[in-house]
Amino acid sequence: MNMPTHTRLHGEGKPVYVENLIKRFGDTVAVDNISFTAAAGRLTTLLGPSGCGKTTTLRAIGGFHDADSGDIRIGDRSVLNLSPHRRPTCTVFQSYALFPHLSVFENVAFGLKATRVRRSEIPERVSEALAMVGLEALARRQAGQLSGGQQQRVAFARALVMRPEVLLLDEPLSNLDAKLRVQMRGEIRKIQEEVGVTTIYVTHDQEEAMSLSDRIIVMNEGRIEQQGPPHEIYERPKTRFVAEFIGTSNLVPVTVWETHGNLVEIEAFGARLEVPAPPDFGSDAGQQALAVLRPEHIRVVAAGEPGAIEAVVESCSYLGAAAAYLLRMPDGTLLRSSVAAPRGAALISEGEHSSVIIDAERLYLLPFSSGDSL
Ligand SMILES: Nc1ncnc2c1ncn2[C@@H]1O[C@H](COP(=O)(O)OP(=O)(O)OP(=O)(O)O)[C@@H](O)[C@H]1O
Ligand SMILES: [Mg+2]
């Protein structure tokens, strides 16, 4: 990956190393022995469902929770014994925690006044931070009189002005409406790259994580399920949980027949398909596996096209930019398929016979475990 070419206002940032972190609350193990690295100057996202331990991890890094065991290092030193304000981190909380009666300027200047930054430097630092988030014109406005999106920008500026080595963001967009979320995530990413600050971002929104992150850490019940760049998480999920949590998946039990080099021949829906063999995949003939099939890799075509499998359209939803089919395969399996840029009038309606071509190259196999329901 190329380093961004923007000017780095904060220097290079430092990596964060979380090593075997455990955090309990009474009997609840909120964070259960996790290890990961947030690379210097990159945006790393902690992604997972509610209660999986994202906020607890972030708070441990920021110094708001003591770890029960494990280590957290920033650059080459452990920060476990440092109080939050002694750590080179800055946290933006979900609630923003602005002072509503203070002006935007005063909110952003607040943290700086408690540091050793010279008084005479403060206005310039505040103006620079407000310019980054596009709020110069509102510097004198009371924070309580801003829209949600504007408040979010102030909270972000208040963190940036401190020039932290590590920026910690906990669901910073969750109070905003859908359209503003999309706009703001683009802005956050742009500023993060410009500034080059190491950032750890918490969200339960998988699309947000995909669009923003250099690296995603998928968490479930206090543990890490998988970590990697967004495309790897989406295209090569390592567990059923990841396949189901990220995007839409069809999970289909299949039988494995033969392995030819990097390809495996499987039987699914009464048809034979050659698909890529995942690393470390056992290849005993007759073995069961779980196929992960994304809706965009299942193409509905006119009946009778060569290589196609017969199917019946159970339902079809026209969504404008896409259409979604629910298809019944010859062995009764239901598959979700999506079509980009559909022509509404050409869609196949419910109950009609059709054919399906599966993009076998994109099909991904997971080991089948006894707990997998069919
Ligand atoms: N202060 C606390 N006291 C007791 N239990 C807590 C405390 N904070 C978190 N927990 C528990 O720890 C677990 C992880 O919580 P955490 O807030 O880290 O989840 P999360 O992934 O941030 O979820 P969400 O997406 O809902 O914010 C949950 O079971 C939660 O109930
Ligand atoms: Mg949380």
Q: Which domains does the chain have, with CATH numbers?
A: 16-243 (3.40.50.300), 248-367 (2.40.50.140)
pLDDT at 43 over 60: yes
Question: Tokens 């567990």 belong to which residue?
Answer: 239
Output DSSP code: residue 171: S
77-78/69-74 β-pairing: antiparallel
Return the pLDDT at 278. 80
Q: Calculate mean pLDDT across residues 285-292.
A: 88
Q: Calculate mean pLDDT across residues 305-315.
A: 90
Return the pLDDT at 348. 87
Q: Calculate mean pLDDT across residues 314-324.
A: 93
Ligand 1 geometric centre to CA of 29 (Å) = 10
Ligand 2 geometric centre to CA of 294 (Å) = 28
The amino acid present at 70, given as its one-letter code, is: G
CA distance 355 to 266: 19
Q: Which ligand is nearest to the CA of 47?
A: 1
Query: Using alpha carbons only, what angle is made at residue 14 by residues 10 and 17, rounded to the nearest 5 degrees?
Result: 155
Q: Which residues, in sequence order, are CB contacts of 259 under 8 Å at separation 6+? A: 265, 277, 283
pLDDT at 25 over 90: yes
Strands (E), 126-165: none
Q: Which ligand is nearest to the CA of 49?
A: 1
Q: Calculate mean pLDDT across residues 52-69.
A: 97
Q: Calculate mean pLDDT across residues 32-61.
A: 98
Contact assessment for residue 23 and residue 68, using Cβ atoms and an 8 Å cutoff: yes
pLDDT at 3 over 60: no
pLDDT at 2 over 60: no
Query: How would you classify residue 26: left for phi > 0, otherwise alpha for psi between -120 and 50, otherwise beta?
Result: left
CA distance 280 to 64: 40
Q: Calculate mean pLDDT across residues 171-176.
A: 89
H/E run at residue 181 = helix 178-195
Ligand 1 geometric centre to CA of 30 (Å) = 6
Q: Calculate mean pLDDT across residues 128-156.
A: 93
Place 4 in a pLDDT band, splitting at 50, 70 and 90: very low
H/E run at residue 71 = strand 69-74
Return the pLDDT at 7. 42
Ligand 2 geometric centre to CA of 96 (Å) = 14
Place 12 in a pLDDT band, splitting at 50, 70 and 90: low
Residue closest via CA to ligand 1's atom 24 equals 50
Ligand 1 geometric centre to CA of 51 (Å) = 5
Query: How would you classify residue 33: left for phi > 0, otherwise alpha for psi between -120 and 50, otherwise beta?
Result: left
Within 10 Å of residue 373's Cβ, how many Cβ atoms?
5
State pTM to two decimals: 0.90
Residue (of 292, 291, 297) closest to 338 by Cα position: 297
Out of 24, 31, 56, 68, mutate this one to test ligand 1's pocket (max ligand atoms within 8 Å of CB): namely 56
124: Cα within 13 Å, side-chain hemisphere: 5
Mean pLDDT of the chain: 91
CA distance 348 to 356: 12
Residue 85, φ and ψ in degrees, nearest 5:
-75, -10
Least confident among 5-19, 136-150, 300-314, 318-332: 5-19
- What residues are in contact with ligand 1 under a 6 Å CB criterion? 25, 28, 30, 48, 50-56, 204
pLDDT over 90 percentage in the chain: 74
Contact assessment for residue 90 and residue 168, using Cβ atoms and an 8 Å cutoff: yes
Place 26 in a pLDDT band, splitting at 50, 70 and 90: very high
Residue closest via CA to ligand 1's atom 16 equals 53
Return the pLDDT at 123. 95
Out of 22, 24, 54, mutate this one to test ligand 1's pocket (max ligand atoms within 8 Å of CB): namely 54
Label residues 118-141 b or e (16+ Cβ within 10 Å = b): eeeebeebbebbbebbebeebbee
Question: Tokens 């979604």 belong to which residue?
Answer: 324
Question: Tokens 């840029």 belong to which residue?
Answer: 341
Q: Calculate mean pLDDT across residues 216-234.
A: 97
Q: Which residues, in sequence order, are CB contacts of 136 under 8 Å at separation 6+? A: 127, 130
Tokens of 194: 């410009």
Handedness of CA 357, 274, 268, 337 (dihedral sign): negative
Residue closest via CA to ligand 1's atom 17 equals 55
Place 283 in a pLDDT band, splitting at 50, 70 and 90: low
Q: Calculate mean pLDDT across residues 22-42.
A: 97
Across the chain, which distance is largest between two alpha carbons, in Å? 77
Return the pLDDT at 270. 81
Place 259 in a pLDDT band, splitting at 50, 70 and 90: confident
H/E run at residue 242 = helix 240-245
Query: How far is C-alpha 321 from the geometric centre of its chain's CA atoms?
Result: 23
- Which range has the top average pLDDT, 46-50, 234-238, 317-321? 46-50
Residue closest via CA to ligand 1's atom 31 equals 51
pLDDT at 120 over 60: yes
pLDDT over 70 percentage in the chain: 95
Return the pLDDT at 19. 98
CA distance 160 to 27: 37
Least confident among 35-44, 56-65, 340-349: 340-349
Place 17 in a pLDDT band, splitting at 50, 70 and 90: very high
What three-state secondary structure class fits 211?
A: helix
Instruction: Give residue-wise pLDDT tens across range 237-252.
Output: 999 999 999 999 999 9
Return the pLDDT at 11. 53
Residue closest via CA to ligand 1's atom 25 equals 50
